């Protein structure tokens, strides 16, 4: 629910004010759930009922780091959707799973404008999108693993466009732009990620950089 952090620690570590749930694990450590805005929800239900009781728990889409995630699978998913590709990437019922930040990184790596309609993506764009999803998430996973930060620390400093409004694009030096889509920010390079439709959007590449 947008907020909340898991913390894995020893039981002697001081409890913070925002700790909502503490689970004692078999190995003596504790898994704590912290949520300073109290938006998170915890359900205690038999596994068999989880799908019915917990909103959004099921169905979960294809695991993008599994073998099932092929270009053909992505093509099938995007073909039947008319929503914006950025919205699609964050839909857990379709893909498991990308958040706001990685969706921006993926679209930048694929050179696709975030507002492009899914069913307007060309064969080449879907192939690029597939490659970008796999490479961006694999790289992120490897970096997070190497740094071995506590699980509540978001390792994000290696991201190339996310939260980098006004900074130069690593590829072409054009300034990174921010735009709103469905209440969430998009960060993208107007030059590397041109809007192909020519309708409805500002052609940022024509504006003064
Ligand atoms: Zn660029």
Could you read off the pLDDT of 151-160 as tens digits, one per residue?
A: 778 788 899 9
Q: How many CA atoms lie within 13 A of 49 on its CB side?
A: 5
Cα of 188 vs centre of ligand 1, distance in Å, is 8
**Rounded Cα gap, residues 57 and 53, in angstroms:** 8
- How many domains, the chain? 2
Residue 45 predicted with pLDDT over 50: yes
Q: Are 3 and 67 within one domain? A: no
Q: Are 109 and 172 within one domain? A: yes
Cα of 176 vs centre of ligand 1, distance in Å, is 8
**Rounded Cα gap, residues 191 and 181, in angstroms:** 19
Q: How many CA atoms lie within 13 A of 105 on its CB side?
A: 20
Cα of 181 vs centre of ligand 1, distance in Å, is 20
**Rounded Cα gap, residues 181 and 141, in angstroms:** 26
Q: Are 22 and 81 within one domain? A: no
Residue 199 predicted with pLDDT over 50: no
Cα of 165 vs centre of ligand 1, distance in Å, is 12
Tell me which residue range forms the domain holding 177: 60-206
Q: Are 121 and 18 within one domain? A: no
Cα of 139 vs centre of ligand 1, distance in Å, is 20
CATH number of the domain bearing residue 188: 1.10.8.50
Strand-pairing partners, residue 9, are 30
Q: Which two tokens stand for residue 122?
A: 């060309």
Strands 95-96 and 62-63: parallel
Q: Which two tokens stand for residue 55?
A: 């909103």
Q: Which two tokens stand for residue 42?
A: 């915890």
- State residue 200's pLDDT score: 44
Q: Are 27 and 67 within one domain? A: no
Residue 97 predicted with pLDDT over 70: yes
Rounded (10°) angle between helices 71-79 and 123-147: 120
- Do 71 and 127 meet the contact criterion of CB atoms below 8 Å apart? yes
- State residue 176's pLDDT score: 96
Cα of 146 vs centre of ligand 1, distance in Å, is 28
Residue 201 predicted with pLDDT over 80: no
Q: pTM of whole model > 0.85?
A: no
Query: Angle at CA 11, nearest 5°, toward 8 and 13?
Result: 80
Cα of 41 vs centre of ligand 1, distance in Å, is 40
The torsion angles phi and psi of 206, rounded to 5 degrees, stand at -85, -15
Strand-pairing partners, residue 186, are 179
Query: Cα-Cα-Cα-Cα dihedral of 92, 96, 100, 106, to 10°?
Result: -130
Cα of 122 vs centre of ligand 1, distance in Å, is 20
- State residue 32's pLDDT score: 95
Residue 113 lies in a domain: yes
What is the phi-psi region of residue 53: left when phi exceeds 0, alpha when psi lies from -120 to 50, beta otherwise? alpha
Name the more confident of 4 and 110: 110
Cα of 143 vs centre of ligand 1, distance in Å, is 23
pLDDT bucket at 181, cuts 50 / 70 / 90: low
pLDDT bucket at 209, cuts 50 / 70 / 90: very low
Cα of 168 vs centre of ligand 1, distance in Å, is 8
Residue 53 lies in a domain: no
């Amino acid at each position: 629910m947008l907020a909340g952090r898991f913390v894995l620690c020893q039981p002697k570590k001081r409890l913070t004010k925002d700790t909502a749930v503490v689970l004692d694990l078999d190995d003596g450590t504790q898994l704590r759930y912290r949520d300073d805005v109290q938006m998170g929800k915890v359900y205690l239900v038999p596994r068999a009922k989880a799908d019915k009781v917990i909103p959004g728990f099921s169905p979960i889409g294809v695991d993008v780091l599994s073998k099932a995630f092929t270009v053909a699978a992505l093509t099938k998913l995007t073909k039947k959707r008319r929503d914006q590709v950025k919205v699609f990437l964050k839909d857990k019922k379709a893909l498991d799973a990308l958040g706001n930040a990685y969706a921006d990184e993926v679209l930048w790596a694929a050179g696709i404008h975030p507002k492009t309609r899914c069913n307007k993506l060309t064969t080449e764009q879907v192939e690029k999108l597939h490659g970008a999803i796999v490479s961006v998430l694999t790289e992120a996973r490897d970096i997070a693993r190497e740094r071995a930060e506590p699980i509540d620390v978001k390792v994000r400093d290696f991201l190339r466009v996310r939260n980098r409004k006004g900074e130069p694009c690593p590829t072409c030096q054009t300034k990174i732009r921010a735009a709103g889509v469905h209440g969430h920010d998009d960060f993208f390079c107007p030059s590397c990620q041109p809007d192909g439709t020519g309708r409805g959007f500002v052609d940022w590449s024509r504006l003064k950089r």
